[in-house]
Amino acid sequence: MRKLETTPRGVLRSALRDAAARRASGTLPPPGQLVAGNGPGIVPPAVPYDPSHRAELARRARDGTLVRVRRGVYLPGPPTSGTTAPDNEDARDRDARILAQVRGVADRFTTPYWFSHETAALLWGCWTWRTPPLVHLTQLTNPRVQRTADPGLRRHWTPLPTRDQGVLDGVPVTSLERTVVDCARSLPPAGGLVVADSALRLGLDVALVDRVLEEAAGTRGVVRARRVLGLVDPGSGSPGETLVRLAAIDAGCPTPVSQVAVRTRLGTFWVDLGWPELRVGIEFDGAAKYSGGQFGDPEQVRRDEQDRHAALVAAGWWIVRVTWADLADPVALGRRLWDARRRRPPR
């Protein structure tokens, strides 16, 4: 990943100023047209526990109508509330499993703690990327517990200022700013950037992020966090767009502009990413918009997408289409984006 000479404070504030200026000039969609995140993670309620009904709870756990997530904590099904994740589990099932485990921890732990890192990101409603089905929490002192004693739980211990302590729907959680810094320090760059992009549109306090980073200077992961947070873009419309942007940057391309307005014979379309000076656009095709339901008839969506693509091409744009499958090999994707730029001389 490229090195950044600018401080995180300057980079983050610059990103927000640029976004505000682009919205004011009409070159960035209004906030309502961009999804801020997944929505807060809802921790499911547990079935009231009564020791005298222990045998009945155990029987219902065996027949699948209840799931035991931790000693004395039972949830109604489905099976995704359980403790073991299958290899082919999708993101929604993974998140449901993590939230179920959050309930188990919240109902059993008595020492002070705050859900943190990727778990806090999920609770705040940030996007996440390839999050393992683990629950992270931060405690003020070393719990001196072997990791193997509770393999689904990751304990972190550190002094946690009151400023960085919060509560969401009765659940203790690190502040949004602390959560973003923790994720940027501990996750691979792609995962940290996905969290940070969405957090910017959830009301992230940029000055506070900078203070949290300054206080952590010299500790593990801070250099990586500064680099990751220097790449944030509040215009990113989805985790996929964030990952495509990172693939382009890592390939040596100039940072693509997000949400590019292109006038066509069918009206103005917002291209996900691109380099306007070359008229090269990048469209990320997630599977969700072809799934029906709130997105409308899948066949009509496909026809509209074909018409949109044709109009962009007729307007002189070269459109690179990217899917989730392409993101499995970001190096190959980066080369493809580099080649697309090379073939289009500046206009």
| CATH number for position 293 | 3.40.960
Cα–Cα dist 24/298, whole Å: 34
* Domain hosting residue 66, numbered range: 51-229
Cα–Cα dist 101/69, whole Å: 6
Residue 172 lies in a domain: yes
Residue 147 lies in a domain: yes
Kindly give the residue spans of alpha helices, DSSP state H, lying in 41-89: 54-63
Q: Are residues 154 and 298 in the same domain?
A: no
Query: Given pLDDT bands bounded at 50, 70 and 90, which one contains residue 8?
Result: very low
Residue 30 lies in a domain: no
Q: Are residues 123 and 272 in the same domain?
A: no
Q: Are residues 176 and 285 in the same domain?
A: no
Q: Looking at this protein, which amino acid is placed at residue 29?
A: P
Query: pLDDT, tens digit, for every residue of 177-186?
Result: 999 999 999 9
Q: Are residues 167 and 249 in the same domain?
A: no
Q: Looking at this protein, which amino acid is placed at residue 47?
A: V
**Alpha-carbon dihedral 314, 345, 286, 127, rounded to 10 degrees:** -140
Say if CB 75 and CB 97 are below 8 A apart.
no
Q: Are residues 66 and 209 in the same domain?
A: yes
Strands 257-264 and 165-168: unpaired
The greatest distance separating any two alpha carbons of the chain, rounded to the nearest whole angstrom, comes to 77
Residues of the chain with pLDDT > 70, as a percent, come to 81
pTM metric for this prediction: 0.84
Q: Are residues 70 and 167 in the same domain?
A: yes
Q: Are residues 224 and 314 in the same domain?
A: no
Query: pLDDT, tens digit, for every residue of 13-55?
Result: 665 556 555 555 555 555 444 444 566 788 888 888 888 788 8
Residue 10 lies in a domain: no
pLDDT score, position 41? 83
Residue 328 lies in a domain: yes
Does pLDDT of 347 surpass 90? Answer: no
From 207, 229, 251, give the residue that closes a domain. 229
Query: Given pLDDT bands bounded at 50, 70 and 90, which one contains residue 147?
Result: low
Q: Are residues 140 and 265 in the same domain?
A: no
From 177, 198, 229, give the residue that closes a domain. 229
Q: Is 113 exposed, middle or buried (0-12, 13-18, 19+ CB in 10 A)?
A: buried
From 210, 229, 248, give the residue that closes a domain. 229
Q: What would the mean pLDDT of 299-320 be, rounded to a whole number? A: 91
Q: What are phi and psi of 326, to 5 degrees?
A: -65, -30
Run of H or E including 261 = strand 257-264
Q: Are residues 58 and 103 in the same domain?
A: yes
pLDDT score, position 4? 41
Q: Are residues 253 and 214 in the same domain?
A: no
Q: Are residues 225 and 242 in the same domain?
A: no
Q: Comparing 143-147, 155-159, 222-226, which segment has the lowest mean pLDDT?
A: 143-147
Query: pLDDT, tens digit, for every residue of 67-99?
Result: 888 888 989 876 555 544 444 457 888 898 899
Query: pLDDT, tens digit, for every residue of 129-142?
Result: 988 889 999 999 88
What separation, in Å, do the N-terminal and C-terminal C-alpha atoms of the chain show? 29
What is the number of structural domains in the chain?
2
Say if CB 271 and CB 319 are below 8 A apart.
yes
pLDDT score, position 78? 65
Q: Are residues 80 and 205 in the same domain?
A: yes
Residue 260 lies in a domain: yes
Residue 39 lies in a domain: no
Cα–Cα dist 162/205, whole Å: 16
Q: At what angle do helices 222-229 and 8-25 cross, to 10 degrees?
A: 20
Residue 307 lies in a domain: yes
Query: pLDDT, tens digit, for every residue of 220-260?
Result: 999 999 999 999 998 999 999 999 999 999 999 999 999 99
Write the CA distances from 106 to 62, 111, 182, 294, integer angstroms: 23, 10, 21, 34
Mean pLDDT of the chain: 85
